[in-house]
């Protein structure tokens, strides 16, 4: 048997230890349950970190909001000429028939999106 090559039995503890170490590293962190910072915000490091995080959040949020708003405007502008949903309002008139009865007669009026009658 060659003793220069490590066997599987000697690799197992190292692999297991490495896996547990990485798992611990990625699942741990500075956190509190009451929502407060785990460090003193009066020290320069945390204060600069909080300020930088706020700036990045504000700028990033505004950029995303502007891009989204511009996209919505373009979509609504392109969609407008193709919107051909008819808007109809119904007005009822009272008319008297030749035999003396009064009846309600509907009249449908085609209107635009602002409620103005469309000329025919």
Ranges of the chain with pLDDT below 50: 1
Nearest-angstrom CA–CA distance, 22 and 116: 69
Give residue 6's pLDDT: 55
Nearest-angstrom CA–CA distance, 90 and 110: 9
Give residue 99's pLDDT: 93
Give residue 67's pLDDT: 93
Give the list of residues 6+ apart from residue 89 with CB closer than 8 angstroms, or none.
Answer: 108, 109, 111, 115
What pTM value is reported for the model? 0.39
Q: If you average pLDDT over every residue of the chain, what do you get?
A: 80
Domain ranges of the chain: 44-84, 85-120
Burial bucket for residue 9 (CB in 10 Å: 0-12, 13-18, 19+): exposed
Nearest-angstrom CA–CA distance, 59 and 79: 30
- In total, the chain counts a number of residues equal to 120
Give residue 9's pLDDT: 61
* Range 16-19 contact pairs with CB under 8 angstroms and sequence separation of 24 or more: none
């Amino acid at each position: 048997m060659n003793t220069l090559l490590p066997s599987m039995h000697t690799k197992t503890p190292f692999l297991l230890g490495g896996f547990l170490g990485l798992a611990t590293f990625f699942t741990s962190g500075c956190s509190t349950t009451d929502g407060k910072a785990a460090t003193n915000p009066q020290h320069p490091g945390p204060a600069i970190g909080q300020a930088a995080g706020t700036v990045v959040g504000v700028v990033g949020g505004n950029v995303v909001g502007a891009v989204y708003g511009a996209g919505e405007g373009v979509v609504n502008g392109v969609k407008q000429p193709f919107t051909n949903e008819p808007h109809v309002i119904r007005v009822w008139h009272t008319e008297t028939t030749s035999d003396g009865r009064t009846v309600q007669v509907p009249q449908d009026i085609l209107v635009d999106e602002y409620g103005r009658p469309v000329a025919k």
